[in-house]
Amino acid sequence: MESEQLFNRKGYYRNSYNSIASASSDEELLDGAGVVMDFHTSEDDNLLDGDATSPGSNYVMSNGGGVMSSTTHLLDFLEEPIPGVGTYDDFHTIDWVREKCKDRERHRKINAKKKESAWEFTKSLYDAWSGWLVVTLTGLASGALAGLIDIAADWLNDIKEGVCLNAMWFNHEQCCWGSNETTFAERDKCPQWKSWAGLILGQEEGPGSYIMNYFMYIYWALSFAFLAVLLVKVFAPYACGSGIPEIKTILSGFIIRGYLGKWTLLIKTVTLVLAVASGLSLGKEGPLVHVACCCGNIFSYLFPKYSKNEAKKREVLSAASAAGVSVAFGAPIGGVLFSLEEVSYYFPLKTLWRSFFAALVAAFVLRSINPFGNSRLVLFYVEYHTPWYLFELIPFILLGVFGGLWGAFFIKANIAWCRRRKSTRFGKYPILEVIFVAAITAVVAFPNPYTRQNTSELIKELFTDCGPLESSQLCQYRSQMNGSKAFVDASPNKPAGPGVYAAIWQLCLALIFKIIMTIFTFGLKVPAGLFIPSMAIGAIAGRIVGIAVEQLAYYHHDWLVFREWCEVGTDCITPGLYAMVGAAACLGGVTRMTVSLVVIVFELTGGLEYIVPLMAAVMTSKWVGDAFGREGIYESHIRLNGYPFLDAKEEFTHTTLAREVMRPRRSDPPLAVLTQDDLTVEELQGIINETSYNGFPVIVSKESQRLVGFALRRDITIAIENARRKQEGILLTSRVYFTQHAPTLPADSPRPLKLRSILDMSPFTVTDHTPMEIVVDIFRKLGLRQCLVTHNGIVLGIITKKNILAHLEELKEHTEPLASPWYYHKKRYPSSYGPDGQPRPRQHNVQLVTAFPGRQADEEESEEEVVNLLDGRGSTL
């Protein structure tokens, strides 16, 4: 602070540090004389060798002096804190750099005080530990909630079919826990468990009871779905959907107030159970990530370190999403990788360790609750360890192709449907839509045993290999010894019996049904995840392929491939493995995850041997899917909704310059700026009321347009309001100044208002000739919110994240008439592309603009002079 002796002369700021370093007498002369620069006549060339016309003494205010002035700014900030300054409005983007700076400052303060007393030392310890504490609490809460959801969803799902008489809180399996029905045929039946028909009509069998059960199934499905959508609509509309696109956007630095709040958590937890139990084609995994993030957000309010800092809070949320996947799939490592690969935007090592820990705690809690009664975290744990053979890679890759095609098709179809919902009147009836879809699902699902049962149980059954202990229809192979008897010694590589053929037909129907229903279900206004339905589709397809290959190997064991690897009489094909690979491939096609997906699937199934098939299938499905469109479902939904999400995975390969992107554009009204010391409160309020921009560059004066700093609209309004309440003598005619010392004023003027504390004196600036590649990189890597464009230290314009997104979208429209990447590859910029360097621009949503019209760019000025000056400047561009 001492090093930056700022003093005021003739309304100018002079930085002594810099005046020694760079200011020549020439510049001083020009500057001191207060020459009004004539920008009308200045051409580009003039501006380029701008040293002659633009004195350097103020130049440092924007760049060179940034470090020091920022400490000034922060200390000022601490001296007179105004409540609310530095917070963000709803639907605004955070400034990562500013937040991180704030956190470091806070940390320095605590460290400095640490030695003062024991109490301060304890406080510093608490502060250091609060990161681990908050992830522990998050892990505990998300594990407990996942246990609750698992147990309640299982129970409620079975309520559709019947009820446990002696203890109504047990689901079907728990109800028959100790029953003594010994034969395979009756393994699912026990006297305690009554189907609705048995309860109402008094008979378990027969067409009458079938119809009764059918009716009760539909009735319960409809009432669960109706209750879910009603609760969502009345209490927490943000609880609908999967939540992962929004969490991705939030983690990239966007504020959606209430999205991770208490009510969202409560309603999402409660309605998720209802939605899963209603039999809709949805899963609970994605919403569980949302639930865990809500826990993380709520617990971060207990710790000032996280509640006051949006960037730090996002670290907790990253860890929370890892915990969410950890409990959703019972895959702790997969959760950490999921957070890294799919959700997080900023993921330093420290966050990795915390995510790891949160995932561990959550998995531990869930394991101790033991929701499935199998002492495992997951429902589908495979127990076979049969080897696989090299030739099987061909069907695995085919499954990968299927997964990619399904993913591409699903994304296209679902986005088209959601766009329709978004843009037409059809979106006005969310409750009716849910009921309609639930009714169709229930009516179609009941007759087919593979769609009637819970989707995760279906996946479990498909993953399980046929052993002698299995009694499902899928395993009714004809034994070789006596061709008539079904399910005898049902090891595979036997000719399929009638049961298997029937099962394949039913599975084919189930596949078609699931494909269609999932497209219409994802996006309903109930909590709806995508993982389980996608996996189910893949598992069905995989199982069918597996049985086909198996029968092929049986009937054509003299073929070269089979003769080599598959001897007669041995079981070399495991259809369950195909189901597993298919599930991974379909999930990969939809979400375009790779590493985390493989890890999740192998943690989910415990099949450590099958990593290579999984990798091959997932990679193939990603390639095939990417050929049809590079976005996964979550990115597509982000784009559909127009969230300001700048993907770090894409490359920017165009050759535009910063000045082509910045606002104001040539045709726009000129940039509105604030001057550092000659505005009154009234004028400032006038500017704020007339414009809708979210921030204003502060310049030295109208004559010399040098940049001083940047002030946010929200901060200005809060500061003015605060001054009106707390400080006396602030009138409408009071002078507002952003300088260190008050300007010299006439004696009778009212007390001036100092707003230096809200001024960001180190705004990021680029010059107008900076290539956009660099600008985009700066935005991505530093997480900027806005960046000022200068020329010779003079503010020309501003680039915001949303401008960049709009620009990307514009470029996409102009240069990419086809969606396919190879078109781009060959015809446009052949040299500048990597193997997958395909820019994927994002759409800016027009509708959001009403909510926050601030492109926070280009402002208009009330003063005529400035308008002229700026006009002139505009014409030089």
Partner 1 sequence: ILVLQHRKMRSSVAFKLLSLVGLLLMSTQTTDAKNSEDIRCKCTCPPYRDIDGQIYKQNVSLKDCNCLHVVEPMPVDGKDVEAYCLRCECKYEERSSGTIKVTIIIYLSILGLLFLYMVYLTLLEPMLKRRLFGHSQLQNDDDVGDQQPFANAHNVLSHSASRPNMLNKVEHAQQRWRRQVQEQRKSVFDRHVVLS
Determine the residue type at 58.
N
From the list 599, 131, 605, the residue with the least C-alpha distance to 332 is 599
Cα gap 571→392, rounded to integer Å:
13
Which CB sits closer to partner 1, 162 or 241? 241
Between 191 and 258, name the residue whose CB sits nearer to partner 1. Answer: 258
Structure letter (DSSP) for residue 845: P
Q: By CB under 8 A, what part of segment 818-847 binds partner 1?
A: 845, 847
Part in contact with partner 1 (CB under 8 A); list of ranges 9-17, 82-90, 211-219, 611-619: 82-90
Q: Is the peptide bond before 664 cis (omega within 30 degrees of 0)?
A: yes
* Residue 584 parent element (H or E): helix 575-591
606 touches partner 1 (CB under 8 A): no
Cβ proximity to partner 1, 471 vs 656, nearer residue: 471
Nearer to partner 1, 65 or 695 (CB): 695
Length reported for the chain: 877
Q: Directed axis angle between helix 285-300 and helix 118-159, to 10°?
A: 150
Using CB under 8 A, which of the segments 54-62, 263-271, 329-337, 747-755 binds partner 1?
A: 263-271
Cα 253 from chain centre: 10
Among 24, 368, 480, 875, binds partner 1 (CB under 8 A): 368
Q: How far is the CB of 482 from partner 1 (least distance, A)?
A: 11
- The reply on whether position 731 binds partner 1 by CB under 8 A is no
User: Interface with partner 1 includes 303 (CB under 8 A)?
Assistant: no
The one among 39, 59, 96, 170 contacting partner 1 by CB under 8 A: 170
Question: Using CB under 8 A, which of the segments 115-123, 291-299, 443-451, 859-867 binds partner 1?
Answer: 291-299
Residue type, position 453, single letter: Q
In the block, tokens 């602030």 appear at 730
Residue 761 CA, chain-centre distance (Å), reads: 32
Among 418, 526, 530, 532, binds partner 1 (CB under 8 A): 418
The dihedrals phi and psi of 13, each to the nearest 5 degrees, come to -100, 135
Q: Which of 599, 117, 574, 687 is nearest to 337 (CA)?
A: 599
Write down the least CB distance from residue 372 to partner 1, Å: 9
Of 682, 721, 813, 871, the one binding partner 1 by CB under 8 A = 721
Residues numbered 438 to 477 that lie near partner 1 (CB under 8 A) are: 467-469, 471
Stretch near partner 1 under the rule CB under 8 A, chosen from 170-178, 194-202, 788-796, 826-834: 170-178
DSSP secondary structure string for all residues of 403-455: HHHHHHHHHHHHHHHHHHHHHSGGGG-HHHHHHHHHHHHHHHHTTSHHHHS-H
Q: What angle, rounded to 10 degrees, do the helices at 244-251 and 310-329 form? A: 150
Q: Which of residues 585-604 bind partner 1 (CB under 8 A)?
A: none
Out of 235, 353, 391, 409, name the contact with partner 1 by CB under 8 A.
Answer: 235
Please give the residues from 796 up to 815 whose contact with partner 1 meets the rule CB under 8 A. none
Residue 685 CB, nearest approach to partner 1 (Å): 8
Per CB under 8 A, 435 contacts partner 1: no
* Per-residue buried b or exposed e for 786-795, using 16+ beta carbons within 10 Å of the residue's own CB: bbbbbbbbbb
> Which of 3, 75, 84, 822: binder of partner 1 (CB under 8 A)?
84
Sign of the torsion formed by the C-alpha atoms of 566, 571, 573 and 577: negative
Size of the site for partner 1 (CB under 8 A): 97
Minimum distance between the CB of residue 421 and partner 1, rounded to whole angstroms? 6
Q: Are 142 and 291 in contact (CB under 8 A)?
A: yes
- Which pair of structure tokens corresponds to residue 764? 């990021």
Closest approach of partner 1 to the CB of residue 384, in Å: 13
Residues 634-673 that bind partner 1 (CB under 8 A): 640-641, 643
Q: Is the dihedral of CA 620, 625, 629, 631 positive or negative?
A: negative
Contact characters 198-227, partner 1, x per CB under 8 A? -----------------------------x
Nearer to partner 1 (CB atom), residue 369 or residue 877: 369
Question: Applying CB under 8 A, does 364 fall inside the site for partner 1?
Answer: no
Q: Of 520-559, which residues contact partner 1 (CB under 8 A)? A: 523, 525
CA distance 529 to 595: 20
- Contacting residue, 9, 725, 744, 814, with partner 1 by CB under 8 A: 725
Site for partner 1, residues 268 to 287, rule: CB under 8 A: 270, 273-274
Q: How far is CA 316 from CA 137, 301, 313, 349, in A?
A: 11, 11, 5, 13
